[in-house]
Every structure is written in C-alpha cells, then in structure tokens.
Homo-oligomer: A and B are copies of this chain.
Amino acid sequence: MKFEGSHILSVNQFDRESIERVFDVANQMVPYAKRQKRTTVLEGAILGNLFFEPSTRTRVSFGTAFNLLGGEVRETTGMSNSALAKGESLYDTARVLSGYSDIITMRHPDSGSVAEFSQGSRVPVINGGDGANEHPTQALLDLYTIQKELLYHGGNIDGLHIAMMGDLKFGRTVHSLSKLLCLFKNIRFTLISPKELAMPDSILSAIADAGHRYTISETIEGNFDADICYQTRVQEERFGSQEEANLYRGKFRLNQQIYTKHFQSKTVIMHPLPRDSRTEANELDNDLNMNPNLAIFRQTDNGVLVRMALFALTLGVEDIVSKFDKEVHWYSGH
C-alpha cells in the first residue's frame, strides 16, 4: 500500500505489511507523545479537522496528533449550519474545503460519505468515522494496542485468542478489528453476546475463510484463556422489546469479581470507550480501574501515536520526522 498522497477510508485497504509499517512509524512517535522531545516536521502544514458529527475524543486526538508533528489545525464541528445542510454536494464541499488545508480528517453520520467526499478532495482524506460503516483509525489503534500489550507479555498477534463481548451486531469497532485480525495467523475468537446482538454472518465467514476459529456463546461461563477481552456496551434500545432487554440486563458486564472468576490473570481488558459509569449500565466496572491489565486508557493514548503515524505516512514525512527535533522545556505529566 502506497501511503503518500492516499486517502485512508477503510480497513479493507490494509494488508499485513502496511499495518506493520503504520505500527513501526507509531513506535517512533512515542518520544514526541511523551514530550521527551518535539518535532517540527509539519510546521506550516494545516489539518482540516471536519467533524460534521460530534466526537470530542476522536476530534481532539486527531488535532493533538497533528500539533505534535508541528502542524496547525482548522476545525469545523456540527452540520446544522453548514453548506451541506443547504443542499451543497459532498463533492463541492470537498473541492472547496480541500483548498484550505494539506490533509483532511472527517467524521460524518452517513455511511459512504467520507469516501464520496474524498473524490472531490485534492488532499488526502482520513476517515474519522462515517456512520455505521467504518472508523479505520479506531481499528488500527485497537490492533496496535493488542500488539503492544501482547509484546509486554512476550507474545504477538499471531496465535492470539481474543474474547469479544457485548453488542457484536452493531459494534462497528469489533467488525473492523475482526477484519484486521484476519490478516494475521491462527487467531481464535470467542464471541459472547445476546442472540439478538450476535456477530453478523459476513464477519463470521471472513474469519472462517481466513482459516481462523471462532466460538459463539451467550453467557460468560467457565474459564477463558483469552489474551484479550474486548468489551463493548450493550445499548438496551438495540433489542426488539424491553422484555428482551431485561432478560439480558447485567449479563454481559465485567467487574473485578467476574474477571477473576472467568479470565486469566494476564488477560488484557479493552473497550472502545466511552464506558457508561451510571450504575445500571456499567459494562466495565470502576473496580477494575486499579487492575494493571485494564488497557482502556492506553488505547486512547495509542490513538495519538497511530494518528501521528498516518499523518506522517500520508504526507510522506515518516522518514524525516527526527530531522526536525527540538528540546522540550516545560513540565510534563506524560
């Protein structure tokens, strides 16, 4: 995969080699994210950060990643007052707005909108989430986190056993992550969800076609020797009826007691965030906050590294980042 000048629209664009390239560059970004030094490689470059649908953390993560490479950020949030709302085509919007920046990150509520937009853009476009369709940087940061966490325990992605829990039907993140995992070897999926929210057949076929194994379960029972437990939120409005929802309420949550009972002591806990902290819906209990295997905040930190890597690669500066190193003078909590 050629990165320079390319759009990043879908996980389907990636092969194993290109994923490893992203992760190598992300690894190089660690000292900048930790404020051990800084780079000005993109000084003078402008990111157009277009969030036609709000998402604070994804938006700020992209902006911060670009700032950490030395660039500037021009931001747009919301759609109610935009030209799109007045009937302008995505093509026109792209033709105009791509004149204002060197690269564009875009979130939009409609499936396919970012790809359509990219056809009018003269600068690279990175998909920051287009409705139920794709959110490739989330999938890449999830996979990057898995690799880092496994490496810490002496393992690697090949041979991984991952448990996915909760809403596997509507959870965009688990679909994309599954597709990326299919590019590796000998993966085992344990898929735990209510029947109504089971993993779609298309993903199951992809897993099987790639030669991997999966087990489907409707309850957390027995012992899972999973390396990773990827938890998601079950939204009750996804069920056909409240009766159905009540049936499953609380059955797919995770807390320290459930973790100890069903998982290995080294199983890494992941979640795409935000998690609901209100009592009735807490799919991931706060009593796990002190568990060293809770990787949810390492995931968001890794998101900055992966987004820096994608910016560097699409703008063709990945090999010269350190040529623009400067010292950091200020207090850093990182």
Contacts and interface: CB of A to CB of B under 8 A. Distances in A.
A320 interface: yes
A97 to B, nearest CB: 7
A35 interface: yes
A88 B317 contact: no
A174 interface: no
Interface centre among A48, A273, A317 (most CB of B within 10 A): A273
A95 B61 contact: no
Interface string A57-98: 100110110011010111110000111001111011101111
A100 B60 contact: yes
A241 interface: no
A315 interface: yes
A117 to B, nearest CB: 13
Contact of A304 (B57, B100, B324, B328): B100
Contacts of A86: 274, 276
A105 interface: no
A277 interface: yes
A301 B333 CA distance: 30
Given A96-B300, A300-B96, A57 B83 contact: yes
Number of copies: 3
Contacts of A317: 329-331
A102 B330 contact: yes
A208 to B, nearest CB: 35
Question: Looking at chain A, what size class is its interface with the partner chain?
Answer: 35 or more
Contacts of A81: 54-56
B70 A73 contact: no
23 contacts: A5-B331, A40-B44, A41-B329, A41-B330, A42-B329, A42-B330, A48-B60, A56-B76, A60-B74, A60-B76, A61-B100, A63-B74, A67-B74, A75-B75, A87-B281, A89-B286, A95-B300, A96-B297, A96-B300, A99-B334, A100-B304, A124-B333, A317-B330
Given A60-B100, A63-B100, A92-B277, 7 more contacts: A56-B81, A60-B76, A87-B277, A87-B278, A99-B334, A122-B334, A320-B329
Per CB-CB distance, the 5 closest pairs between chain A and chain B, nearest first, are A54-B81, A83-B274, A89-B277, A88-B274, A38-B44
Interface of A: 4-5, 35, 38, 40-46, 48, 54-57, 60-61, 63-64, 67-68, 70, 72-76, 81-83, 86-89, 91-93, 95-102, 121-124, 273-278, 281, 286, 289, 297, 300-301, 304, 314-317, 320, 324, 326, 328-334
